Amino acid sequence: MWPLRRRKPLGPAGEDLAAKALRRAGYTILDRNVRLGKYEIDIIARDGDTTAFIEVKTRRDDSVVPPEDCVGGTKRQHIRKAARIYISRHDEPETYYRFDVVSVLTPESGKPTVTIHRDAFRPE
């Protein structure tokens, strides 16, 4: 009997889809699932002269709240703190920085939808 193919957990599967969409959009993936102190950034990528710190939110559907709206104040603060650590270690004077969110909808039937929200929130 052939082993059944198991589905990848929703989060990692969404991050894989997000990375593919980012590459198609011209981003260069620098790193994934980066631990910086006690915080994590899902994807760090270059988009031209800008380094983007990217949070990926994956959901089966958006009937209640769209995935991009699930990046609340506390999560944004954590991403900002992680970005400060990253910048202190990799500071490049000619580089701009921004925060993007990628929302991934993976319905039970049909194709997934990936939306890139550039400059989704400010550094403060």
Q: Which of 48, 68, 43 is nearest to 58 (CA)?
A: 68
pTM of the model: 0.88
- Look at 119 and 10; give whichever has higher pLDDT: 119
Q: What is the pLDDT of residue 117?
A: 97
Per-domain residue ranges for the chain? 13-121
Q: What is the pLDDT of residue 12?
A: 83
Q: How far lies 54's CA from each of 39, 112, 119, in Å? A: 13, 19, 10
**How far is the C-alpha of 11 from the C-alpha of 58, rounded, in Å?**
6
Is the pLDDT score of 88 beyond 90?
A: yes
Is the pLDDT score of 43 beyond 80?
A: yes
Q: Which CATH architecture has domain 13-121?
A: 3-Layer(aba) Sandwich (3.40)
Helix (H) or strand (E) run with residue 89 in it:
helix 73-90
**What is the average pLDDT score of the chain?**
89
% of residues, the chain, pLDDT over 90: 68
Q: What is the pLDDT of residue 67?
A: 82
